[in-house]
Structure 1
Amino acid sequence: MKIHKDMMHTNPDDIVLYYCALCTFKTKHKRYLETHMLVHKDPEDCEMHKCKVCTFKTKFKSYLKTHMLIHKNPNEITMHQCEYCSFKTKHRKYLDTHVLIHMNPDDIPMHCCTVCEFKTKSKPYLKTHMLTHKNPEDVPMHQCDECSFKTKFKYYLNRHMLIHKNPDEIPMFQCEQCNFRTRHKKYLETHSMIHKNPDELIMYSCNQCEFQTKSKAYLFKTHMQIHKNPDELVLHKCSLCPFKTRHKSYLETHMLTHKSPDEVTMHYCTECDFRTKFKHYLKRHMLVHLAPDECVMYRCWECDFETKHKNYLDTHILYVHKSKDEVPLHGCPQCDFQTKSKGYLKTHMLLHRSPNEVTMYKCKKCRFKTKHKSYLKTHMTHMHSRKL
């Protein structure tokens, strides 16, 4: 009650702020500052709160209380249920955040970033977002005790720590409808969508076109970019070729194409000789070694089509079940070519560019080179497979 009175009924001019001497953190409450100071201390310098069931430990008592919920059966704890849909959670604050998706944006005060166009219904999300604009030296970094990894985001550290654990020590989240399992609860939640009929899902709609998606993050972070004026976009450019992208993570992945296998961590298949610089390529490749009943199959709701690859299903729906009137066509600015697929347009555009303007894929066995990675794979199979 005292905290509520201080926050809601005190004149702003009368509020005393407590500042951290080591970073930019500030608060109206002295005890919050005392708790915050723990982030600047090494684990050995403060009392650690340990879980009695697993190896989890933390500097913060409140974090331990939250953590302990994962060891309890839903029947043993109070579940917070959404009154608008079937969503329920062990955490009240998660329910408060979830309920916002059922509200009209016009009825909710939006929290806006002062540096970019990001805005959110959730104040904690804005605080997290603001870290992306700060230099590492200006914020407390979360450091891994096992290696040199460090990050601005505690969530990323928690996810990173899983790589140092024995698989037997990690609680796995299992899908109830197939054999999919994962270390990450949110990955399971995302995966579970494939088992639902579109009518059972909350769809997020674009307010500028007819696009709909199951993923709120995809709508705002990826799709909405197509409605922006090119002059408004921050493009991340490769320093070695003409490649550019709206997404920093895509540039980081792209840069691997300019490095030799000796300079990067290679991901190897345990079943054959396949290897790649890209972890997601290995995951996709591993599907070739699985029978349909051993992996998640993506099924079309309109016909009997099914596939191991979600992007194949998306392409199937686009070309087989949607008319030109339902799908915006992507047109080539240099010829009459049109396509429903933005990816196909990108591939087509390579026809209009000279070899010195694009990344060329070169054969290590002969002089063959091409603008298309798939063409290089075909070449290697037909021309050099017997020599390998």
Structure 2
Amino acid sequence: MHYNKKTISIHNGLNTDKQYGSVIPPIYLTTTYNFNGFNNPRKYDYSRKSNPTRDILQNVISSLEDGLGSIITNSGMSAIYLIVTSILKPGDLLICPKDCYGGSYRLFKSLLNKGIYRVKFITMYDKKKLLAALLEKPKMVFMESPSNPLLNVIDIVDYCNEIRNSKAISVIDNTLLSPVFQNPLNLGVDLVVHSCTKYLNGHSDIIAGAVITKNIKLIEKISWWSNNIGVTSSVFDSYLLLRGIRTLYPRLKIAEKNALIIIKYLQTQKLVKKIYHPSLSSNIGHNIAKIQQKGFGAILSFDFYGSKKQLSCFLNSLKLFTLAESLGGVESLISHSATMTHACISREERLQANISDLLLRISVGIEDSNDLISDLDKAFFYANKCH
């Protein structure tokens, strides 16, 4: 009998308790471990460095992404910071997209302002811009595909070939799709990063991140640095994240189905100017997404086509959609990029990245699609009457 590889990945970690036969792996809430004797440590000595519960989680996430190793950190941002700290040296050049997640942009901009690394922001989906940037001999290229919040898609295989030929290291944030819809390591990426806070956990109750790779030397180096600067995830969060991962596939499939239904509805609304989602032929990289992705995902954005007063009325009229940052939970969230996820970026920089003042991003949850449409319909009704 042949099982789906992803089913096996999620099943990893179960039935590993040799002492009592617990189906669910036990949680090891300990900070330290006794030695067998003088100068004779056990496998584990201190939980900042390693812990049995976190190790099970790291194996599961590595397996989901078809990697050979992973590091679980205390946030998605610390995962990104861990990568640049582990690999880059003062003066190295980092290439990253103009339209990336606001927190990533803020981190890279602050490192640039402190003079630690050189950073160049480019229109990543424009391959000519990438090729020009590679002539400057970067040490690392950071990518998002789809990007957050405009859902721009790049040809990951093609880009990674160019990056590899320039002898740079490729990194991609795979948070928006998760391993359900995309496995970048199989497309040539050196390092994959996740905000596990989002889809991998799926319940909006922990903060965590992950770095995954097929390169053993890289994972050993990053693992050393994770212990060195103390960014590893807490043990209890690792336990909760393992629990969340067990429902990853059904959650994502339902959420994506709901997203496609919502997109069809939004296309009928006069207060919607433009919709961003990889499933749409108008979306940047749509044809590539059909090839390299196993699904289009449950994150969508749209430009609101009305006044700020109408926008406020629309958002305040929603009941099922929660006005909040983050994404990937079982509940549907809506955010206003300019004042929330990308508020740390200047208006000029946002507009250069085509992030308008009226852009809204929706993280579609697993509620009944009819209820979600009804909620949107009522909000648009009140927004239309608000002048």
TM-score (norm. length: structure 2):
0.22
Q: Which has the higher contact order (CA 8 A, sep 6+)?
A: 2
TM-score (norm. length: structure 1):
0.22
Q: Which has the larger radius of gyration?
A: 1
